Amino acid sequence: MTTYFLLGGDLRVNRLGYGAMRLSDDPASRPADQAHIWRAPVERAAAVALLRRAVELGVNLIDTADSYTLGGNEELVAEALHPYREGVAVATKVGVARPGPTEWVPLGRPEYLRQQAELSLRRLRVERIDLLQLHAVDPTVPLADQVGALKQLRDEGKVRHIGLSKVSVEQLAEAAQVTPIAAVQNMYNLVAREDEDVVGYAAANDIAYLPFFPIAMGGHTGSGSPLAGVASEVGATPAQTMLAWLLRRSPTIIPIPGTTSLAHLEENLGALSVKLSDEQYERLSALS
């Protein structure tokens, strides 16, 4: 298993990134999949320290979005990491409006996407975004127009690589007719595998696949579960074992687990050293 991937063919990133979305609000207020991602983190100094520690431990792909805390998450990343260490890449997303704390509205008008990218450049304090992703496809705007706006930004030297999020194989193929797509970010983990066809398409086309919510929760993770059994066998935690399964599932998968805990951050990165046998991998694969 390789521990790095050449995103877009030239951007070397380690195969465990960090998703900054959870660095908002009060992390203890609600589960990760129900968080509003609306306000700045309660413990800002701790969030800054966590981002810096992630880079110290070898993370060189940080994922954020203009819609996380209304741009505040990008500002937090810049506060912690600017000037960016050589080799550290920041990915962000545009294309979702936030009229309120519980609303995520796809907005893909080309002028809006370009404006938001300009704001992201300012908040991240960079002249070029390493990976700019369309956060969600707006069904009211032709996909070619949405992707075309990102291509225009790349042609202007403001974007290095283009990615898509929450898309199907058909949408990926359609977007590729406009410009090369370097990454896709969809939900995928050990027990949520509705996206198998996209994972396969990404692998076949050398596209980075960044699964969000890569660490699943639920009864299958409990004591006595098959996952717990494999984790015990390899001397790892269930979270590390799930990440190790993802890393083996496809050579283009780059999990981006998010956490507000330094201990969990270090635990997650330990997945890079977890080795699964063929039998253990197959046993985990049967959990879906």
The per-residue pLDDT for range 87-144, each reduced to its tens digit, is 999 999 999 999 999 999 999 999 999 999 999 999 999 999 999 999 999 999 999 9
* 186 neighbors 134 (Cβ within 8 angstroms): no
Q: Which pLDDT score, from 0 to 100, does residue 66 have? A: 98
Is a pLDDT exceeding 90 seen at residue 153? Answer: yes
* 207 neighbors 199 (Cβ within 8 angstroms): no
SS3 (DSSP) at 171? helix
Q: Which pLDDT score, from 0 to 100, does residue 33 have? A: 66
The per-residue pLDDT for range 8-56, each reduced to its tens digit, is 999 999 999 999 999 998 666 666 667 899 999 989 999 999 999 999 9
Please report the sign of the dihedral spanned by the C-alpha atoms of residue 269, residue 55, residue 74, residue 195.
negative
Per-residue pLDDT band for 288 (boundaries 50, 70, 90) equals confident
Per-residue pLDDT band for 242 (boundaries 50, 70, 90) equals very high
Predicted TM-score (pTM) of the model is 0.96
* Residue tagged 């431990």 (tokens): 57
Closest CA to 255 of 235, 275, 276, 240: 240
The per-residue pLDDT for range 98-114, each reduced to its tens digit, is 999 999 999 999 999 99
Is a pLDDT exceeding 90 seen at residue 169? Answer: yes
Q: What is the DSSP string of 116-136?
A: HHHHHHHHHT-SSEEEEEE-S
Is a pLDDT exceeding 70 seen at residue 57? Answer: yes
Closest CA to 250 of 288, 189, 202: 202
Q: Which pLDDT score, from 0 to 100, does residue 287 have? A: 87
* 130 neighbors 160 (Cβ within 8 angstroms): yes
Q: Is the peptide bond before 257 cis (omega within 30 degrees of 0)?
A: no
Active site amino acids? 68
- Map out the domains of the chain with their CATH numbers: 4-285 (3.20.20.100)
* 61 neighbors 18 (Cβ within 8 angstroms): yes
